[in-house]
Chains A and B, each alone.
Chain A
Amino acid sequence: MLWVDKYRPKTLDQVMVHTDIAHNLKKLVTEQDSPHLLFYGPSGSGKKTLIMALLRQMFGPGAEKVKVENRTWKIDAGSRSLDLELTTLSSANHIEMSPSDAGFQDRYIVQEVIKEMAKNRPIDTKGKKGFKVLVLNDVDKLSREAQHSLRRTMEKYSAYCRLILCCNSSSRVTEAIRSRCLNVRINAPSEEQIVQVLEFIGKKEGLQLPPGFAARIAEKSNRNLRRAILSFETCRVLQYPFTNKQAIPPMDWEEYISEIASDIMKEQSPKRLFQVRGKLYELLINCIPPEIILKRLLYELLRKLDAELKHEVCHWAAYYEYRMRLGQKAIFHIEAFVAKFMSIYKSFLIATFG
């Protein structure tokens, strides 16, 4: 088992990073008046971990005994009937799913499946917990229609059903839903916190950490705790005992993007842009989200750029990212950004060096 999983806090008491939030959540649950919750924050900050710990706090260890269910739902949508396949994780008291898996048909999932689940009151009436919990992942990827149909469900069945929503960015969750939930923002852990966690793991594993090593990993991890722990383990596997100068293996796709960036810096021409396109496609093929590609590319470019241009380049990156999110074909916009950058950079070079 990876350290990430091995040292994942199981209960709210074990949580190391967001202790204050964990504390508040615990208080919230023990008072038995849990509202709908919306967890949001960047990936690798511990949203899921907190949710799992919260469920355990609510329902005891039974919440961890989950079974996977892959079910096909038949849905009557007016004249035709649809078959939707949905994977759910469920324990006695809660159900977990990502409705956005259904793509553009997520509306039906929300309208039919979730309503169906929310309607059924848990049979176990002897226990004090008279409500069940629905955990919905990736709410920000839900279509607008689905989100609209969600809000009625949230109100109607609130007597015995709690929703826990989880997403990366709350900006794409509609106001209506946000106002119906208790919003819990999970920040990315600070580097100190990450160092703290790494040292904890090191102690548990009986490793000797040279001073500053954990800090280097934390710095490289982009404040992503999962990544920090994973690269920590990677370092351990590659070379132990640690040395202070030990290289921390980079993410492969990040390396690739930095290659692209240096390609762009070397030559600015339509021909080069064509080569860059091929590489961008490679990244996209391997399921790297385009937003992340653009962000990383900007980061890599900025590192090598004259301070004069940084502002302008950032502006254009934001411009094209906005358009990318509005549009559909990400490659058009990423490439447009690359072209724009090439143009700016080239005219800058001509202006400075003649």
Chain B
Amino acid sequence: MDDMDMDIPLPEELEFLESNSHFAEQEQEEEDHHYYFPDLDPAAEFLESNSQQSPSPQDLAVPSAEPEFNGHKRSRPPSPEEKRAKVRVAVEEDFAVADEDWPRYSPPPAPPEQAMEEMMFEKEKTLSRFASEIDGECMPITAPSGNRVYAKLNRFQGEERVTKLDYNGYSAELSSEPVNVILERLEQEAFAKALEASSEGQSVLDIPEAQTVHERLWVDKYAPKSFTELLSDEQTNREVLLWLKQWDSIVFGSEIRSTSDDVLSSLKRHSSIVHNQKPLNSKFPRMNGGPKWSNGRRYINARSMDESGSSKSIQDVWNAKSRNIGPPEQKILLLCGSPGLGKTTLAHVAARHCGYHVVEVNASDDRSTASIEAKILDVVQMNSVLSDSRPKCLVVDEIDGALGDGKGAVEVLLKMISSERKPDAGKQSFGKGQQERKSSKKGSKAASLSRPVICICNDLYAPALRPLRQVAKVHIFVQPTVSRVVNRLTYICNKEGMKASAIALTALAEYTECDIRSCLNTLQFLSKKNEALNVFDIGSQVVGQKDTSKNVLDVWKEIFHKRRTKKTERKSHRGKSFEFDSLYSLVSNRGDSNLILDGIHENVLQLNYHDPVMQKTVKCFDNLGVYDLMHQYIMHTQQMPLYVYLPLVAITVHHIVSQVQKPNIEWPKSHQRYRTMMMEKMDILNTWHHKIPPYIARNLSASSFVEDLISPLLHILSPPTVRPVAFQLLSDKEQNDLAQLVSTMVSYTITYKTLKSDILPQTQRCEVADGLALSLVPPISDFINFKDYTSNHYVLSVAMKQVLVHEVEKHKILQVGNDKAGAFTNGGHEVIETGTNNIPLANTSHATAVDLKINENQANVLSWQLNANPTTVSPNLDSNKISRAADCGKLLNMGNMKKPSRSSSSFFDRFKKVNAKGLQSNDRSPQEEATLEKDRYPLLFKFNEGFTNAVKRPVRIREFLS
């Protein structure tokens, strides 16, 4: 019968069990307790209950056995009722169901006491949709319909009731059983207990054993042992569990799938905490969970009719879905939150809950890359051959403390994840049942993550975690509400027999910022000292406040945020000093005072403080200045003890500007940005400075560049008077100017270089022809490029820039030529020039084309638009453009696209002087058009790098010969 129960744990049942589970466990404990204290109650009762549970199912037909069993249970007072008496859960629906069923199952002569108690439950139940409305301990309960309520927990001392009840009749009946049967049962019980102990099952230790084992830390003693006891935020708890559950398909494989799918579906459906049986130790619930199964059964029998339809469909959907889901998307769970919120506890409890064996790696272990890798592989891919054969779940605690060697942990995990990203073949081999895996070796790749890994950290934004943050599923713990913590504390105090007022406990919880661990430690400490806890103890220095290192953003928030203090506190001196202390420790514990002050500086002006004549602002900045001086002094004189005074600056600022409304805080970037940008620019200046020939550079320092030089230099470099015409076309005076300009550029090693054309829209417009933009190199114009500032510097036309580039190149070559024996290069030039001289006719059109363009540039310097010309020219221009385009296309390989056009222009300008200026006139003979065709000849005269006056155009050999 119990077997049957085990095999079909429907979701509803599971839920119900979950809500009831730890009562059952408690009862188990209770029974153990009785067992160990035989003077309380005879073992007979114990044995009796056992005899009813385990051996019978085989003999009895199910339908008949059940009523009888239940009936027996009903009439035997202690087991279900006592359990309820200890922890009364009042759920309306459940009771409705129960009431409905009982007439059927239980014999009419129920003890009147029983009925009365039943009535009492009805009255005392306290239900609410909100946990906050219930004072005292509460637990969430989800009805099958999805309604979720919180029920008050009422704990009774069980012993009294036990003694009240009368077992005599039953014990007499039991003693008639053969001894060997009893012994056998006892053995089984012992075996079950041993297994239970080894599995670290969800045994609840909330039993009054304080007197016997007083040395244990309360923190350990009252650590939540089951999922429902967790104090942490329920949403987080559930999500963690869900995440773990998603591993089921890969870890436990298809055999258990039906179970876990059900669980998953109910998890999904109700998003409630689900108590799952441990799939691997499936024997245990069977052994120790007898009574509770009967409860579940009853419940199911009643409900299954109307539930089955809907649940089945959902189940199907879920099953279909789950067939093809592997492990969860993010393979690592990252839990973060301040200390003492129960992260580690949650990880352990949840993992155990899902049937994993928890392997913890924490800061105390060796965490170098090699050792951690071995360990993780061990955990993730091996199975213990020893007794504990559950799959393992790795919990990497305090991963943010991983520095230096410890980074290994993060690295290894990342490596495994990235290898996992590739299609993993090994997945299937894990998709086997547990039994198979025990025997068969893992066939998967060396490093892939096939077990859940939970990482725990305090500071999510620790630099070491940056890569992990991107791939892991991150859960941030929030503080539990004070009332929740206080409830728990009250409960524990009661258990420990310590008198503590709720006010004191509240104060304690607030003082420790809901750090449960710290609360418990403090309580235990105080319990030794004096019996009653009062507020004074907590407020005084008896209790040390722990060093909480908060996130910097929180620190800033604290500084800018004025707490609304109660009137009484504000009046008293204590409130102020307390605020001072807490703020001081907050800032000093964070340590990074530089960053904190930067943040203050960045954000203080955004606050909404009342400041008609800016006096507060002045005070603020004076304080920042004081900080700066102090910091500099400390750094300079290495008087580190003075560091203690730095946080005071922040506190002063807090007193000046803090506001009640929440500040909007931004991360201080501007100072960092300023530092890096200035470094960059300094770099530019310095390299420029080094490039300038020493006879000029030695007279300048890098700083005088910006102060004195750059603005005038930019003016000088872009004279508005110089026409963008080739050198030879200019008048003597203009030539002088140009030469002067070029020599300036050369002496300061400034030139124009092509940049991507999409940088400036303005140049883009006039650069359609070439697709090039020219900008100064080094980029000195950036130095006057302030935000929201428009300088009135004249911008040279692109054509002019090209002329300049050309001339600068020439100048440089000439300089080199002067220095060395320039015979070679000059000779080269000569050859080409003679070569081109032979084809003047063919070139005339080309020359005119260039001329036209030049004219245009003169007319319309900035916008270089060809259509603005007289119509008669346009056909000619078009053809020229085509030819030029063809030229350019061929020359592209040489990488100096603009040079040919320039060089050709300057070359033909010589012709221009010889010829009349009449060439500019638009008369063009058709034969010239014909010669244009020759421009497209494929033969190309390539000249190497450098500068040439020659025309680069295709020439046929026969043209030389003719």
A81: Cβ under 8 A from any B Cβ? no
- B787-A282 in contact (CB<8A): yes
B696's closest neighbor in chain A, by CB?
A: A5
Instruction: Describe B's contact surface by its main secondary structure.
Output: helix
Is B368 part of the contact surface with A, judged by Cβ < 8 Å?
no
- Asked whether A230 and B713 contact (CB < 8 A) given A96-B698, A253-B706, A255-B789, the answer is yes
A281-B670, A327-B632 are known contacts. Are A8 and B699 too (CB-CB below 8 A)? Answer: yes
Residue of A nearest to B681 (CB): A287
B744 adjacent to chain A (CB < 8 Å): yes
- What's the nearest-Cβ distance from chain A to residue B700, in Å? 8
Asked whether A352 is an interface residue with its Cβ less than 8 Å from the other chain, the reply is: no
Give CA–CA (A317, B789) in the complex, Å: 25
> Any chain A CB within 8 A of the CB of B690?
yes
Q: Is the C-beta of B783 less than 8 angstroms from some C-beta in chain A? A: yes
Contacts of B782 on A, CB cut-off 8 Å?
286
Contact A323 B715 (CB under 8 A): no
> How many residues of chain B are within 8 Å of chain A by beta carbon?
73
- A contact residues, range: 35 or more
A331 & B698 in contact (Cβ 8 Å cutoff)? no
Are A274 and B709 in touch, CB under 8 angstroms? no
- Given A285-B681, A329-B628, A329-B671, A226 and B708 touching (CB < 8 A)? yes
Please determine whether B715 and A279 come into contact, CB atoms closer than 8 angstroms.
Answer: no
Interface residues of B in 247-298 (CB under 8 A from A): none
A286–B622 contact, CB under 8 A? no
In the complex, which residues of chain A have a beta carbon less than 8 angstroms from the beta carbon of B621?
332, 335-336, 339-340
Q: How far, in whole Å, are A274 and B620 apart by their CA atoms in the complex?
A: 14
Partner of A68, one of B611, B670, B681, B694: B694
Which B residue sits closest to A270, measured CB to CB?
A: B605
> Can you name the residue of chain A whose Cβ is closest to the Cβ of B705?
A287
Does B712 belong to the interface (CB within 8 Å)?
yes
Interface: A199 (CB within 8 A): no
Q: How far is the CA of A68 from the CA of B696 in the complex (A)?
A: 12
Beta-carbon contacts under 8 Å, B406-437 to A: none
Complex: how many Å from CA A161 to CA B86? Answer: 99
Cβ–Cβ contact B707 & A231, under 8 A: no
A residues 238-274 touching B (CB-CB < 8 Å): 238-240, 249-253, 255-256, 259, 268-271, 273-274
B632 and A2 contacting across the interface, CB-CB below 8 Å: no
Which of B671, B704, B744, B784 contacts A286 (CB under 8 A)? B784
Answer yes or no: B625 CB below 8 A from chain A CBs. yes
Give chain A residues whose Cβ lies under 8 Å from the Cβ of B611.
Answer: 270
Q: Which residues from chain A contact B701 at a C-beta distance below 8 Å? A: 43, 98, 137-138
CB distance from B260 to the nearest CB of A (A): 57
Contact with B along A143-164 (1 / 0, CB 8 A): 0000000000000000000000
Per-residue interface assignment for chain A, residues 32 to 55, with 1 indicating a CB less than 8 Å from any chain B CB and 0 otherwise: 000000000001100011001000
Which residue of B is nearest A70, CB measured?
B690
* B711-753 contact mask (Cβ, 8 Å, vs A): 1 or 0: 1110110011100000000000000010010011001100000
**CB contact under 8 A between A320 and B677, given known A234-B716, A252-B786:** no
A307 close to chain B: CB less than 8 A: no
A326 at the interface (CB under 8 A from B): yes
Are A233 and B696 in contact, with the CB atoms below 8 A? Answer: no
Q: Does B678 contact A (CB under 8 A)?
A: yes
Out of A227, A249, A283, A327, which one reaches B629, CB within 8 Å? A327
| CB-CB contacts below 8 Å: A311-345 with B | 320, 323, 326-329, 331-333, 335-336, 339-340, 342-343
Closest residue of chain A to B789 (Cβ to Cβ) is A256
The number of A-B residue pairs with CB atoms under 8 Å apart is 204
A300 within 8 A of B: no
Measured between alpha carbons, how far is A261 from B20 in the docked complex, in Å?
Answer: 75
Asked if residues A48 and B671 are in contact (CB atoms below 8 Å), the reply is no
Q: Which residues of B contact A273 (CB under 8 A)?
A: 605, 614, 617
Q: How far is the CB of A267 from chain B (nearest CB, A)?
A: 11
**Is the CB of A212 closer than 8 A to any CB of chain B?**
no
> In the bound complex, do residue A340 and residue B618 qualify as a contact, i.e. CB atoms below 8 Å apart?
yes
Residues A1 and B628 in contact, CB atoms below 8 Å apart:
no
B614 contact from A253, A285, A286, A342, Cβ within 8 A = A342
Please tell me which one of the listed residues B631, B694, B708 contacts residue A66 in the complex, with CB atoms under 8 A apart. B694
Given known contacts A256-B789, A288-B706, A347 and B613 CB-to-CB distance under 8 angstroms: yes
Q: Are B628 and A49 in contact (CB-based, < 8 A)? A: no
B631 to A, closest residue via Cβ: A328
Q: How long is the Cα–Cα vector from A284 to B677 in the complex, in angstroms?
A: 9
Closest-CB distance, B722 to chain A (whole angstroms): 9
B695 at the interface (CB under 8 A from A): yes
B674 in contact (CB, < 8 A): yes
Near A by CB (< 8 A), chain B positions 768-802 give 782-789, 791-792, 794
Q: Determine the chain B residues whose CB is within 8 A of the CB of A67 once the complex forms.
A: 694
Contact partner of A346 among B614, B678, B708, CB < 8 A?
Answer: B614
A285 partner, pick from B604, B674, B711, beta carbons under 8 A:
B674
Given that A233-B716, A252-B789, A332-B621 are contacting pairs, would A343 and B747 also be in contact in the complex, using a CB cutoff of 8 Å? no
Which residues, 607 to 635 on B, are CB-close (under 8 Å) to A?
607, 611-615, 617-618, 620-622, 624-625, 627-629, 631-633, 635
B707 touches A327 (CB 8 A): no
> Is A278 at the interface (CB under 8 A from chain B)?
yes
Residue of A nearest to B670 (CB): A281
The reply to whether A326 and B613 contact each other, CB–CB distance below 8 Å, is: no
Among A1, A87, A98, A277, chain B packs the most CB atoms within 10 A around the CB of: A1
Q: Which of A239, A268, A285 is most buried by chain B, counting CB atoms within 10 A of its CB?
A: A285
Q: How far is the CB of A323 from chain B (nearest CB, A)?
A: 5
Contact B711 A253 (CB under 8 A): yes
Contact between A323 and B625, CB atoms less than 8 A apart: yes
Q: Is the CB of B690 within 8 A of A320?
A: no
Given contacts A284-B674, A343-B617, contact A252 B708 (CB under 8 A): no
Instruction: With A2-B716, A252-B786, A339-B618 as known contacts, state yes or no: A66 contacts B678, CB within 8 Å.
Output: no
Q: Which residue of A lies closest to B608 (CB)?
A: A270
Q: Which residues of A contact B747 (CB under 8 A)?
A: 1-2, 5
Query: Closest residue of chain B to A227, judged by CB?
Result: B708
Does B682 interact with chain A (Cβ within 8 Å)?
yes
B746 closest partner in A (C-beta) = A1
Give the distance to chain A from B749, nearest Cβ to Cβ, in Å. 12
Complex formed: what's the CA distance from A43 to B700 in Å?
A: 9
Contacting A48 at CB < 8 Å: which of B628, B682, B699, B702?
Answer: B699
Q: Do B744 and A2 touch (CB < 8 A)?
A: yes
Q: Quick one: which of A252, A331, A347 contacts B711, CB cutoff 8 A?
A: A252
- Counting chain A CB atoms within 10 Å of each CB, the highest count among B681, B699, B721, B791 belongs to B699
Most buried by B among A224, A274, A339, A346: A339
Report yes or no: A237 in contact with B614, Cβ–Cβ below 8 A: no
B710: chain A residues within 8 A (beta carbon): 252
Contact partner of B618 (CB less than 8 A), chosen from A66, A138, A283, A343, is: A343
On chain B, the residues within 8 Å of A87 by CB distance are 690
Bound together, the chains give a CA A227 to CA B707 distance in angstroms of 9
Q: Is B703 on the interface with A (CB-CB < 8 A)?
A: yes
Query: Which A residues are CB-close (under 8 A) to B789?
Result: 252, 255-256, 259, 282
Quick check: is B193 within 8 A (CB to CB) of the other chain? no
Are A350 and B613 neighbours in the complex by a CB distance under 8 Å?
yes
Given contacts A320-B625, A323-B629, contact A89 B706 (CB under 8 A): no
A292 at the interface (CB under 8 A from B): yes
B791 / chain A contacts, CB cutoff of 8 Å = 252, 255
User: Using a CB–CB distance below 8 Å, which chain B residues touch chain A?
Assistant: 601, 604-607, 611-615, 617-618, 620-622, 624-625, 627-629, 631-633, 635, 670-671, 673-674, 677-678, 681-682, 685, 690, 694-696, 698-699, 701-704, 706-713, 715-716, 719-721, 737, 740, 743-744, 747-748, 782-789, 791-792, 794
A-B pairs with the 4 shortest C-beta distances? A336-B621, A327-B628, A230-B712, A252-B784
Instruction: Pull 13 A–B residue pairs with CB atoms less than 8 Å apart, ordered by A.
Output: A52-B699, A252-B711, A253-B707, A253-B784, A259-B788, A270-B604, A273-B614, A278-B670, A281-B673, A284-B678, A326-B632, A329-B671, A331-B674
11 further A-B pairs in the complex, CB-CB below 8 A; given A277-B605, A286-B706: A2-B716, A66-B698, A237-B719, A238-B720, A249-B711, A252-B786, A255-B791, A328-B635, A343-B613, A343-B617, A346-B613
